[in-house]
């Protein structure tokens, strides 16, 4: 499926990745993402992405592992006004602290703003994380800057796409995406 990079190259051991301060990067066409593909209005669009590992020592001893993901690219979505494809830019940089279990990660995520919490794994799918974040980075109400159908309602749409608007809890968004997905 993912033609440019095989699964073995994008499946990482997060603890090892962080310990080595490793780095992984690539370019992926958005149409290669199953869930993302359903949201697109056109075939064109790709992401340049980079994943970086980091291990930070704690003052009291021990360490914490982090992953930093950055992505940049374009996607074609349906304009909310005219329903024709509009090209939008995606740009995101996320820092995650790694945890051993989901309950630890959920507790941490509720408490800390500087980074998100993520459950680490010896076989962690970096491309699945990339797809999750790319989906979350999509604008809620994409529209042409000068849409042929733009009228008074346009201003309302633009307000709902305000990038400064509070970010919805990513776990809730993902739960909804997965819940509406292909269970069973």
What residues line the site for Zn ion (CB under 5 A)? 79, 81-82, 144, 147
Q: Which two tokens stand for residue 85?
A: 């494809």
Of residues 61 and 145, the one with the C-beta less far from Zn ion: 145
Beta carbon of residue 168, minimum distance to Zn ion (angstroms, whole number): 24
Q: Provide the 10 A C-beta neighbour count for residue 7.
A: 12
- Angle among Cα 85, 87, 89 to the nearest 5 degrees reads 150
Of residues 35 and 144, the one with the C-beta less far from Zn ion: 144
Of residues 79 and 118, the one with the C-beta less far from Zn ion: 79
Beta carbon of residue 150, minimum distance to Zn ion (angstroms, whole number): 7
> On the CB side of 139, how many CA atoms lie within 13 Å of its CA?
24
Of residues 95 and 141, the one with the C-beta less far from Zn ion: 141
Of residues 41 and 95, the one with the C-beta less far from Zn ion: 41
Beta carbon of residue 170, minimum distance to Zn ion (angstroms, whole number): 28
Of residues 41 and 177, the one with the C-beta less far from Zn ion: 41
User: Rounded CA gap, 160 and 139, in Å?
Assistant: 9
Beta carbon of residue 146, minimum distance to Zn ion (angstroms, whole number): 9
User: Rounded CA gap, 163 and 153, in Å?
Assistant: 18
- Angle among Cα 87, 92, 97 to the nearest 5 degrees reads 155
What are the backbone angles phi and psi of residue 15, rounded to the nearest 5°?
A: -65, -45
Beta carbon of residue 131, minimum distance to Zn ion (angstroms, whole number): 26
Burial class (CB in 10 A: 0-12, 13-18, 19+), 175: exposed
Beta carbon of residue 136, minimum distance to Zn ion (angstroms, whole number): 23
User: Rounded CA gap, 42 and 179, in Å?
Assistant: 25
């Amino acid at each position: 499926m993912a033609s440019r990079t095989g699964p073995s190259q994008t499946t990482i051991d997060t603890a090892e990745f962080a310990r080595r301060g490793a780095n992984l990067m690539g370019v992926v066409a958005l149409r290669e993402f199953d869930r993302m593909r359903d949201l697109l209005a056109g075939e064109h669009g790709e992401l340049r992405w980079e994943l970086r590992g980091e291990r930070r020592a704690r003052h009291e001893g021990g360490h914490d592992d982090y992953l930093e993901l950055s992505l940049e690219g374009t996607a074609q979505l349906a304009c909310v006004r005219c329903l024709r494809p509009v090209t939008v830019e995606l740009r995101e940089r996320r820092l995650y602290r790694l945890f051993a279990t989901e309950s630890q990660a959920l507790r941490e995520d509720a408490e800390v703003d500087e980074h998100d919490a993520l459950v680490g794994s010896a076989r962690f799918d970096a491309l699945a994380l990339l797809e999750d974040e790319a989906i979350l980075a999509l604008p809620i109400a994409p529209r042409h800057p000068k849409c042929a159908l733009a009228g008074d309602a346009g201003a309302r749409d633009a307000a709902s796409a305000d990038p400064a608007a509070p970010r919805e809890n990513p776990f809730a968004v993902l739960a909804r995406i997965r819940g509406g997905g292909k269970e069973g």
